[in-house]
Amino acid sequence: MYKILQKQDLVPHVHLFKIDAPRVAQKVQPGQFIVLRIDEEGERIPLTVAGWDREEGSVTVVVMEVGTTTHRLGMLSTGDTITDFVGPLGVPTHIDNYGTVVCVAGGFAIAVIRPIARALKAAGNRVISIMGARSKDLLFWEEELRQASSELIINTDDGSYGRHGLVTEPLKELLEQGGIDRVIAIGPSIMMKFCAKTSEPFGVNTGVSLNPIMVDGTGMCGCCRVSVNGVTKFACVDGPDFDGHQVDWDLLLARQRSYLDEEKLSFDQWRAKHGV
């Protein structure tokens, strides 16, 4: 059993969980993920880590309520336990002194890009972070990300805070100005796809963190198959980071929809049971 040391509601429907997992905390690196399971009947879901404290032995993840499992997580509190929390899994994000790096985070991926931005900055990079969300009330960790970066640009789709528009717009402007050595984009697949499409004409290497459906997360099942440069890869062990210019985005998006009917059935039933 793994204890929730702290649960914090960051914005509506987005929660932070600090989990007591000393073994994971010792080894985890930016860009890696964990797999958790709430209880005996729960599914295994992968979550990229948002932080850790090696001394305290804790690992932090941020969860947005989407389906049954994430809503069930949302109902847990500090002091509760979950049955499984395994990691660190996947290959860490490659940290190097590239020069100037643009880190683009969409939605609740703001949480997972922070340790990456921080590591890049510590490695000597000038880090320009772009954080975007649909509207102001979905933004969090503005100060935290500002501190992890050399420069911070904020975007909202509806213009309620920061720049009005999609994150691809400031990204494009920065690329047009030149001097960008690398882009890292993390968020919903569709956002990562368009960030990669934006940077491709400029020939700037763009790392993305893919989030296909997984079961075990250790290379055993192949559920997370993605196509990169025409070659099938397992995102759990070969990734989750890949070259965004080589990812077959349509395949990823289609495979993510594999269980839409089942997910809806499960969620409807859960909601009926809990009167949500």
Partner 1 sequence: MAKLNLNRVDMPRQDPKVRAHNFDEVALGYSPEQAKEEATRCIQCPKRPCIAGCPVDIDIPEFIKAMSAGDLPEAARVLKDRNALPAICGRVCPQETQCEATCSIGKKGAPIAIGRLERFVADWERDNMPADSQSVTLPPPTGKRVAVVGSGPAGLSAAAEVARLGHDVTVFEALHVAGGVLMYGIPEFRLPKAIVQAEVEYVSSLGVKIELDSVVGKMMTTDELLNEEGYDAVFLGTGAGLPMFMNVPGENLNGVYSANEFLTRVNLMKAYLFPQYDTPVSVGKRVAVIGGGNVAMDSARCALRLGADKVYIIYRRSEEEMPARREEAENAQEEGIEFKLLTNPKQFLGNDQNWVVGMECYQMELGEPDDSGRRRPVVKEGSEFNIDVDVVIVALGTTPNPLIAATTPGLDTTRWGTVVVTDEATGRTVKDRVWAGGDIVTGAATVISAMGAGKRAAADIDAFLRG
Q: Does 216 bind partner 1 (CB under 8 A)?
A: yes
Min dist CB 42 to partner 1, Å, is 5
Q: Applying CB under 8 A, which of residues 3, 65, 150, 251 lies at the interface with partner 1?
A: 251
For residue 28, with 0-12 CB atoms within 10 Å meaning exposed, 13-18 middle and 19 or more buried, which class applies?
A: buried
The only residue of 5, 10, 63, 86 in contact with partner 1, by rule CB under 8 A: 86
What gap in Å lies between CA 62 and CA 195, rounded to an integer? Answer: 22
Q: Is 59 helix (H, G, I), strand (E, B) or coil?
A: strand
Pairwise CA distance, residues 64 & 216, whole Å:
21
Element (DSSP H or E) covering residue 133: strand 126-133
Q: How does DSSP classify residue 247?
A: B
Applying CB under 8 A, which part among 3-11, 83-91, 123-131, 195-203 lies near partner 1? Answer: 83-91
User: Cβ 215 to partner 1, closest distance in Å?
Assistant: 6
Confirm or reject binding of residue 220 to partner 1 (CB under 8 A). Answer: yes
φ, ψ of residue 80 to 5 degrees: the values are: -70, 170
CB 112, CB 192: distance < 8 Å:
no
Check binding of 274 to partner 1 (CB under 8 A): no
Among 69, 70, 125, 209, binds partner 1 (CB under 8 A): 69
Task: Show the site string, 173-192: x = touches partner 1 by CB under 8 A, - = not.
Answer: --------------------
Residue 172 host element (H or E): helix 168-177
Residues 6+ apart with CB under 8 A from 164: 155, 156, 158
Determine if 6 is a binding residue for partner 1 (CB under 8 A).
Answer: no
Residue 8 interacts with partner 1 (CB under 8 A)?
no
Strands 225-228 and 231-234: antiparallel
**Residues 130, 171: contact at Cβ < 8 Å?**
yes
**Phi, psi for 28 (deg, rounded to 5):** -65, 145
* Tokens coding 158: 């509806």
Among 30, 51, 88, 187, binds partner 1 (CB under 8 A): 88
Indicate the residue among 27 and 164 with the shorter CB distance to partner 1: 27
Instruction: Pick from 48, 58, 68, 70 the residue near partner 1 by CB under 8 A.
Output: 68
Q: Closer CB to partner 1, residue 67 or residue 165?
A: 67
* The pair of three-digit structure tokens given for residue 110, joined into one six-digit string: 């703001």
Query: Of 42, 57, 165, 188, which one interacts with partner 1 (CB under 8 A)?
Result: 42
Report if residue 124 touches partner 1, rule: CB under 8 A.
no
Q: Which of 81, 150, 160, 266 binds partner 1 (CB under 8 A)?
A: 266
User: Which residues would be at the binding site for partner 1 (CB under 8 A)?
Assistant: 23-24, 27, 37, 41-44, 68-69, 83-89, 215-216, 218-223, 225, 227, 232, 237, 250-251, 254-255, 257-259, 262-263, 265-266, 269
